[in-house]
Amino acid sequence: MVKQYNFSSKHRENSFFSSPTLLLALGSLGIVYGDIGTSPLYALRECFYGIYAVDLREGNILGVLSLVFWSLTMVISIKYVVFIMRADYKRMGGIFALLALISDDRRKISPKLYSYVVFIAMIGAALLFGDGVITPAISVLSAVEGLGIATESAKPLIVPLTCLILVFLFFVQHRGAEVIGNIFGPIMVVWFITIAMLGLKEIMVRPDILRSINPIYAYDFFAANRIQGFMVLGAVVLCITGGEALYADMGHFGKNPIRISWFGLVFPSLLLNYFGQGALLLNNPNFVINPFYGLVPKSLMYPMVCLSTIATIIASQAMISGIFSLTQQAIQLGFFPKMQIIHTSRNIEGQVYIPQINYIMMVISISLVLLFKRSGGLAGAYGIAVTADMALTSILYFFVINRIWKIPFWQALSLLFLFLSFDISYFSANLPKIFDGGWVTLAIAAIIVTAMIFFRDDREAIKTKILKPKLVLDAFLEDIAKNNPPRIQGTAVFMSTSAVGLPKSLLNHLKYNSFLHENIVILFTRLVDTPNVSDWEKVEIEELGHNFYRIFASYGFKEKPDIPLIMYLASFKGLSTDPATTIYYMSKGSIA
């Protein structure tokens, strides 16, 4: 695989309500809304039945719902959907997209500050990886637990059934986000409409629950509960932890389809369900053990458990797809070792599948289910990493809008303070989770940061390396002209990992054989961000002198390199070779 540093997606952004955009919006429902879409299964329950639960009384119910409403509004709708999603690196999202925007104009910040920015991005990405392996586990487990409510005899089956579903989920990833989204999107429409109707039914019984939209109830909640009320933010945050995945998945569908699906269906459906759960608890506190399933009529319990399970399988896709995108960007930026990247769409470069990452996530997710055994236990491990990541994203966004987009400092700083006021509050409330399982995600993040530091090859290092190989090649050609080694008939093609360097295989060939072929071709292949490259544009030839040539071969992300075809196409641009007398040499690297 050729290292490249442009992780853009050149699918053109269609008009806001065009048919392609609406179809992408439908597909995004089956991919993007992971934690957010299924958080009603467990988020409100943890506020009143979790580790740091508050007493179940009217003031607390209204206060918690006020926190949920304003968290979804300010953090997801305003911060991510309106502001953060503006910061795309050629339509790709995620914390590495912010880094790429800064890297492209790094002259605008000092080298020391840039090194801090790179480190912040690496930590943020690692934290998202840490929470990413928990998302499928907690989502699927929380849905399957509905069987235990329907019948006691099903409780022993919850963990093994969850593991089987997770195995299925990860084994279908190779189908790609486009296929999965087209299948799962309509199902998620049913899910969101269903949870909206369940909530609306209960709101009609207690319409006064809508009072909680007033932020004064959130203030009164903190005033009445003080420290314990603040700690409940560690559970409230469960309703918004999908923000980072939503941003990371932007390259799969584009910002407009995601905005349409969020404001048109997901956001109102979530609010209706949360308010419905609150209304239910006002009328019947006994449902506190699982208020989500308390909304469901007994006659519909089994169908709802099935729908919830399917929804969580689908919803887990958001973080999985986001991790694939993040890994691809990390590889392209030199933070991860090279891995097999499979592009699953012929049109959208951002839709990728990485087998190694997929299987690693599957093993860790299943291990977490076996370790914690219930979603409540996983909720204790959930949140600390992603809330830290949310804060780091806000900081990098500040650098983008202030240093790159030239937004006035005081305006950018005001926006940063607004975002951090939420981010730091959630992060602080989640700190005690370190001892309740949060150490798991932090340990995973620490391992990944260490790996990224080890493999780090940022743009400054690449820039430093660009001149040295050129000098090595120039010196080599001068030595060839001076010593004039024997040449034999035919053409030797040496594969190169550098666009300017000298392949080690060429140097070793001359050292051990003491001769060169009549024509020497250094072949460098590069991956571009379009599905296909025309035959005429696929080959560029540079004449180096002394019958040395360099070929730049470009491939689209849906094409596979065909070296004999490249040599054939080169003949139309002046470099004719005889296939019968052409020999190919592989190289593990270039002299640098």
Parallel/antiparallel/unpaired status of strands 487-496 and 548-555: unpaired
Q: What whole-number distance in Å separates Cα of residue 381 and Cα of residue 437?
A: 4
Task: Tell me if residue 561 falls in helix, strand or coil.
Answer: coil
- Using DSSP's 3-state secondary structure scheme, residue 507 falls into helix
Name the residue with tokens 């910002």: 255
Q: What is the 3-state secondary structure (H, E, C) of 241-258?
A: CCHHHHHHCHHHHCHHHH
Domains of the chain: 19-375+392-457 (1.20.1740), 461-591 (no CATH)
- Write phi, then psi, for 481 (nearest 5 degrees): -65, -35
Local confidence pLDDT in tens for the 592 residues of the chain: 333 333 333 344 555 566 777 888 887 887 787 668 888 988 899 899 877 788 999 999 999 999 999 999 999 999 999 999 999 887 788 888 898 888 877 777 888 888 899 899 999 989 888 877 887 887 788 778 877 766 677 778 888 998 998 998 888 887 765 666 677 788 889 999 999 999 999 999 999 999 999 999 999 999 999 999 999 998 899 899 888 878 888 877 788 899 999 999 999 999 999 999 999 999 999 898 889 999 999 889 889 988 888 887 777 776 787 788 888 888 877 788 778 888 766 666 667 788 999 999 999 999 989 988 887 777 667 778 889 999 999 999 999 999 889 999 999 999 999 999 999 999 999 898 888 778 888 888 899 998 888 777 554 454 455 445 555 778 888 888 888 999 999 999 999 877 777 888 888 898 889 899 999 999 998 877 666 788 888 999 999 988 999 999 988 766 778 888 999 999 999 898 888 899 999 866 544 4
Q: Taking the CB of residue 490, how many other CB atoms lie within 10 A of it?
A: 14
Alpha-carbon gap, residue 309 to 460, rounded angstroms: 47
